[in-house]
């Protein structure tokens, strides 16, 4: 029997409101609290969880960003006039196949998907997740959880993000039973996709929660049989906000007469528009174009960007960001042509956006936001390493 085993289980989109309303694992993991989400999406939060750094520091806010000199897609952009008919190349299945081909061609090891990024603009875009964030040096010299664990001397396991929830939870249970690891980071992502489609259907969501409850109970039982001190902490990145309406910002911007790539550039995410002003007068023209949407969203101030951990002096994320009100989705966007039943990426103050942390051991008072998870894991890893000396 091992002296101690530490498990951190990440459940994507396990929001505080869902935890609170269902009593999820309340008996098994009684230590729990609401957590302020990292502004952005999972592609913002996961690097923050794995490094303890904000998007302003690690550079991951959204998947695509306007950066022509560093775009790896210039060849694809040059070929776009040959990709006809355009409707064929906009189909979801075709985009999925094309995404796999591009990922293989460029040697990307991280999560990659073209979504609905226009092919006539792809040659001006960079992509943030070229490397596997969970692997050694996956976040460069800044370091990540893998690098920290590798230096600790502990036996450890980090789930394969490509595997299913059932596979990753079963592997965690197997390794715990074998007493093969001191620290495990278990990754599960299926709840996120389910909530995007079924956020308004509690019976379907509840079945998925029951799946997690059964697997966590099994893991706890196994852990207690193989470690004198078995600590399990569930963490999440955000919740899910039900659809309340849509806004076609792209049509309004394109009616302004401004030329993309000459006067301005823009990335249309599901909940925010990020714009670059390339010519004098573009800022005012874009503000005028979006004035009719003042009841559906707002321009973020520099103070808000700093508070959200996304302000960068180089303006990599855009010269300005127009954030939609909770529940309002940009349709069409570079992410999709239709609204989803649920979405995240709104104001962190939105009740439905809040993340959650649950544990079978007391939690430090200073764990209040997603960026704090890494510090907690680092502390626990340090305790395990010290106990082995």
* pLDDT attached to residue 83: 84
Topology of the domain covering 244-339: Gyrase A; domain 2 (3.30.1360)
Q: Where are the domains positioned within the chain?
A: 2-55+132-241+349-388, 68-127, 244-339
pTM, to two decimals: 0.95
Query: CA 36, CA 299: separation in Å to the nearest integer?
Result: 21
* pLDDT attached to residue 86: 82
* Contact by Cβ (8 Å): 274, 316: no
* Through-space distance between the first and last CA atoms of the chain, rounded to whole angstroms: 18
Helix-, strand-, coil-residue percentages of the chain, each rounded to 5? 40, 20, 40
Query: Measured at the alpha carbon of residue 369, what is the angle toward residues 299 and 342, in degrees to the nearest 5?
Result: 60
Query: CA 141, CA 175: separation in Å to the nearest integer?
Result: 30
CATH of domain 2-55+132-241+349-388: 3.40.720.10
| Three-state secondary-structure class, residue 266 | strand
For residue 263, what are the contacts with CB-CB under 8 A and spacing of at least 6? 278, 279, 281, 282, 285
Tens place of pLDDT for every residue, the chain, 389 residues? Answer: 999 999 999 999 999 999 999 999 999 999 999 999 999 999 999 999 999 999 999 999 999 999 999 999 998 888 888 888 888 888 989 999 999 999 999 999 999 999 999 999 999 999 999 999 999 999 988 899 999 999 999 999 999 999 999 999 999 999 999 999 999 999 999 999 999 999 999 999 999 999 999 999 999 999 999 999 999 999 999 999 999 999 999 999 999 999 999 999 999 999 999 999 999 999 999 999 999 999 999 999 999 999 999 999 999 999 999 999 999 999 999 999 999 999 999 999 999 999 999 999 999 999 999 999 999 999 999 999 998 87
In the chain, what is the greatest distance between 2 CA atoms, to the nearest angstrom? 70
| Three-state secondary-structure class, residue 304 | helix
- DSSP E strands in 15-171: the ranges are 31-35, 64-66, 125-127, 156-158
* pLDDT attached to residue 141: 84
Fold matches, 2-55+132-241+349-388 and 244-339:
no
């Amino acid at each position: 029997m091992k002296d101690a085993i530490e498990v951190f289980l990440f459940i994507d989109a396990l929001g505080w409101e869902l935890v609170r309303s269902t009593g999820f694992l309340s008996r098994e993991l009684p230590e729990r609290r609401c957590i302020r989400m990292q502004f952005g999406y999972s592609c913002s939060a996961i690097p923050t969880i794995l490094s303890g750094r904000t998007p302003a520091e690690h550079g991951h806010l959204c998947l695509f960003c306007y950066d022509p000199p560093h775009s790896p897609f210039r060849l694809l952009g040059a070929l776009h006039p040959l990709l006809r008919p355009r409707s064929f190349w906009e189909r979801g299945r075709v985009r999925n196949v094309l995404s796999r081909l591009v990922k293989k061609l460029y040697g990307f090891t991280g999560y990659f998907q073209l979504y609905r990024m226009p092919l006539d603009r792809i040659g001006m875009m960079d992509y943030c997740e070229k490397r596997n964030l969970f692997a050694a040096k996956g976040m460069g010299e800044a370091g990540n959880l893998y690098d920290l664990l590798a230096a600790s001397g502990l036996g450890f396991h980090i789930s394969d993000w490509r595997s299913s929830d059932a596979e990753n939870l079963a592997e965690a249970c197997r390794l715990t039973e074998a007493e093969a690891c001191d620290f495990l980071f278990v990754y599960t992502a299926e709840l996120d996709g389910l909530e995007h489609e079924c956020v308004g259907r509690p019976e379907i969501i509840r079945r998925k929660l029951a799946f997690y409850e059964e697997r966590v109970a099994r893991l706890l039982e196994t852990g207690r049989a193989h470690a004198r001190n078995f600590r399990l902490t569930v963490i999440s990145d955000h919740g899910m906000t039900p659809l309340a309406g849509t806004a076609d910002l792209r049509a309004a911007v394109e009616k302004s007469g401004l030329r993309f790539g000459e006067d301005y550039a823009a990335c249309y995410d599901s909940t925010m528009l990020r714009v670059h002003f390339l010519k004098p007068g573009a800022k005012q023209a874009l503000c005028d174009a979006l004035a009719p949407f003042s009841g559906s969203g707002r321009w973020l101030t520099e103070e808000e960007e700093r508070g959200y951990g996304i302000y960068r002096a180089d303006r990599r994320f855009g010269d300005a960001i127009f954030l939609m009100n909770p529940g309002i989705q940009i349709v069409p966007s570079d992410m999709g042509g239709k609204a989803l039943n649920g979405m995240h990426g709104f104001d962190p103050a939105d009740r439905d956006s809040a993340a959650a942390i649950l544990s079978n051991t007391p939690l430090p008072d200073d764990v209040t936001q997603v960026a704090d998870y890494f510090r907690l894991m680092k502390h626990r890893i340090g305790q395990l390493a010290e106990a082995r000396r």
